Amino acid sequence: MKSGKVFLGIIAGVAVGAILGILFAPDKGWNTRKRISKKAEDVTDDLKEKFDEFLDSISVKVDEAKEQASDISEKVKSKVTDVKKEAKTATS
């Protein structure tokens, strides 16, 4: 999670730097607004992509946890069955 925060900080810093660079560049207002809009769109697309990757990684981890829980459950059921069989043979 820390690397995600660092990455978002870097993206935000790059975006702010790019916008400030455009604002201070000697260009016409309409062209500057167009460039700011394009940069904002690019940053938004990057953030959406990173968020989707984050959700995918979370989904994979949840699936792995479910699989591990299922394996543990099966082992416990098997152990209980074995203990029941041993108890029956001991009482017989």
For 32-80, what is each residue's pLDDT tens digit? 788 878 888 888 898 889 888 888 989 999 999 999 999 999 999 999 9
Computed over its alpha carbons, how large is the radius of gyration of the chain? Answer: 28
- Residue 48 contacts by C-beta under 8 Å, 6 or more apart in sequence? none
* DSSP state string for 13-64: HHHHHHHHHHHHSS--HHHHHHHHHHHHHHHHHHHHHHHHHHHHHHHHHHHH
∠ CA 85-90-92 to the nearest 5 degrees?
95
| pLDDT at 16 > cutoff 90 | no
